[in-house]
Chain A
């Protein structure tokens, strides 16, 4: 049976936050120590990469699951040309929705694997898109975890009209490569 046809039972939890936190206390906290996030735009006349080094992230592991939150200011992406960056900011409604926010949940034992598949939720340009089973390469070194992967983002996922140059629109596919160094606290 499809979920949509399920009867829904909503149970608001009324316990105070502190006792609950005590019951489900975090077993580990991860902090994003360093990152490079790159979007790639293709146009017949040129290829462009926009890079941000300003993402921040935190991960909390509880009950075998790690919840990760990563966010970066949209205006922190630099493509090497201020005019192009301002156009990008306009088409992605970056002044109205100034942050790109990524959420994912991973099993805590994912740290023991070289590759991980994560369901990723991205909030961007006032829209939310979900990407299933995105492949990431994972390298552990002590308390550091290096995570590298590419999220197959498209402009239509976020209802963004493809910008054009000389009347020719850019490609819909805008893959986003993430390189992150997470540190266990």
Chain B
């Protein structure tokens, strides 16, 4: 320890290289290398510079202190949205497969097995879609976070494909029953294809809206 004037004395050091470190509250620790030969007395002066703290910049403790609970909420949100993204890509693939299978489910080339395949893929697609939606809907909300940017488009499109994913399977089931009974697809069921197309396009645009910057 130094005396009240900052003087110090260290005795009985062996010859060699030393790193002298001087510390004081409110100052940055100063260091200096000192080489001492056998029997030699050396003077080593270290100048300390004032240490600045976040309080000197006007930040409050509330601003500078971390919050583990907030971090946990962010972690959970990101974790769930990662699954939202993964299931979203799977759902996109199943949208395409379901659309492709529709060529054998209706029209002149329609077959019973084609309809069954299309219905099966439609059910799978619906399951994947609502699993995807679950991870987004139930991801924790972050207090004070305002929504802005392209994510607003993504969320707006969710209302379109969300509605579509309720309507399309219902219309699909109606069309399936009509065809299975040997009837022509008529009435509301005839809009199944159009509803599916709008839903698929809205879903694709929703993916693009968070993938490509424009």
Contact = CB atoms under 8 A, between A and B. Distances in A.
Contact of A6 (B3, B8, B19, B151): B19
B47 A84 contact: no
Contact of B49 (A9, A16, A62, A80): A62
Interface stretch (B20-28, B161-169, B178-186): B20-28
B49 A65 contact: yes
Contacts of A98: 63-67
A136 to B, nearest CB: 19
Contacts of A97: 66
A89 B67 CA distance: 13
A183 B26 CA distance: 24
A87 B149 CA distance: 14
Nearest to A46: B213
A12 B24 contact: yes
A96 B23 contact: no
Interface stretch (A18-26, A109-117, A147-155, A169-177): A18-26
A6 to B, nearest CB: 4
Interface residues of B, number: 66
B57 A58 contact: yes
Contacts, number: 183
Interface string B82-101: 00011001000000000000
A21 B213 CA distance: 53
A89 B16 CA distance: 49
Interface residues on A, range: 35 or more
B26 A69 contact: no
B50 A67 contact: yes
Interface in A51-72: 56-58, 60, 62-63, 65, 67-69, 71
Q: Enumerate the 9 nearest inter-chain pairs by beta-carbon distance, A residue then B residue, closest first.
A: A81-B149, A13-B24, A95-B70, A46-B213, A83-B151, A69-B52, A95-B71, A90-B74, A96-B66
Interface of B: 1-6, 8, 10, 16-28, 33-34, 46-54, 56-59, 63-68, 70-71, 73-75, 77-78, 81, 85-86, 89, 142, 145-151, 154, 210-213
Interface of A: 1, 3, 5-17, 20-21, 23-24, 26, 45-48, 56-58, 60, 62-63, 65, 67-69, 71, 73, 79-84, 86-87, 89-91, 93-99, 101, 103, 105, 165-167
